[in-house]
Chain A
Amino acid sequence: MSEIKDRSLYLVVTGECGRGRKAVEIARRAVSGGVDILQMREKDKPKRELMRIGRQLCSICKEKEVKFIVNDDPVLARKVNADGVHLGQEDLSAYPLKKARKILGPDSIIGVSTHSFKQFTKANKEGFDYIAFGPIFPTKTKSYFIGTRDIEKVLKIAKKPVFFIGGINLANIDKLLSCGAKNVALIRAIAEANDIARAAAEFKNKLTIVGQV
C-alpha cells in the first residue's frame, strides 16, 4: 500500500487556475518547490488531451517521488499510471470505493472530498486512504465555507491523513495549523503565485516547522 505521510503538501493542478500557465509548467515548478502530492483536475478537456497531460504530469512526479493523483476517474488514473484517484462526493455513485479499488488495484491511493462533518464521518468509516475536508476558508470556487471550528472534531476521529482545503493561503495557514491540521491541499495559493516553486517551498516549510515543535 502506497502510504501518505503527515506534513504533506498537496497541490491540485487545473488549467483554470494558473494565470494562463500550463498544468505541466505549474507542476514542474511546484514539484521542485517541495509539493508531496499532485492532483490533475481538468474538468472540461477531451479524454485524449487528459491522457497526454496525465502522462506528462505522471512522469514529472515520478522523477521526484511525488505522488500523482487523477481527479474523478479511476480508469483514466490507471491508464496514465497514476498512484491513485481522488473522488468527489458526486463521483461516489459511479465509483464507490470498492469499485475504484478494483480498477486501480490494492496498492493504489484513493482519496475523497468531504464538505461536512457528516460526510467526513461516513468517509472515515469506509477506508479511504486520505480524506479532504473543506472548504475551510472562503474561496472563489465554492459558495460556502466550513470555518476552522470542526477541525479538531475531525482530527479526533480521523483514521487516515486529512487534507484541509479551500481558501488556504500564507496569511491564514497558521490559524489552521494551530487547530492541529497537519496536511493541506492548495490550488490558487501556489498555482497563481508569481514564483510557484517559492510559494510551494514556503507552504512546505510551514508544515515542517509545526511538525518539529
Chain B
Amino acid sequence: MLGRLRSLARRVLGVTRESTYYLPWLTRPGLECVVLVNNIESRFTSGRGATATDLGATVTQYDAGGGVVGVYTTALSDSADAREVRLTPTAAGHGFVTVRTRRIHSDLYVALVDGESYSATHGRQEFIEHYPPWTRAALAIAGGAVATAGGTVPLFARDQYVYHGPDSRSHVLIFNLSNVVNRIRVVATRDGTRAGTRLLRLPPMGSALLDIATLGPPAEHLVVERLRLTGNAWFNLYLVGAGARDLDGALSLMHVK
C-alpha cells in the first residue's frame, strides 16, 4: 500500500528513477581506492558471445559536494576479464561512483589498499532520483522551513546499527542519490535513550562522512547505537570501519542491506 502511494506521489511530482549501479569510495593519505570492474557471471548468459563493446564500462566519480571528479572508461577483453580503476583522491576524500555498462551481471568490488593488505566490499544496483525543477523548488522551500527547527521532510527512512568503542568504530558514509538537496536527520539512541541528533545537508549527488563519535558521549567499551536516518529524497549508506587510529589508520568499507 505504502509502495503504491509512493509510486503515485512520484508520478504526480514528476519524479523519475534512473537505474544505476553505484559503489562508495574513500581515500586517505596512504590509502588507495580501487574499483574492480568485471562482468564475470555474464558468461552464463549474454557474455558467451559478448564483444568488447558489450563488456565496456564507464565509471563516474562524484565527490562529497556532488561534483564529478573523474570519468574513467574501461573495456573488458572477455567475460572472464577484470580491470582495476584507481580513483582520484580529493580533499574531502569520499563520495560514490556510478558504473554504466550495457548490462551488468556481476557485482563489482571496491577495495581500500594500504600497501600491506586490502579490504573490500561490493556495490549496489539501485537508482538515482531525478526531480523536475518545480518539485526541486518546492522541496527546497519546504526543506528549508523544516530545517530551521532541526528537521527534514521525512520521505525516506533507514535504520542502522553502528558500533562505537575506544579501539574501533563504524562511521557512516551517506549518499544523496538524487538531484535535489537532501537534508538527512540522524537520531542516535543508546540503550533506549537518545544519544544525539544531527541534521546533514547533502548537495545533489553529494555525500557526507558522519563521524559516529560526534553523535554521543564517549564509550569506554564497545557499544551499539541505533541510528534512525530520515531524508527528503532517496539516499543510502555504507559503514566505514575504523580501528584504534580512527580515520588516520587502516579502514574498511562495508555494505549494508
Q: Do A and B come from one complex?
A: no
A residues within 8 Å of B by Cβ? none
Chain B residues within CB distance 8 Å of chain A: none
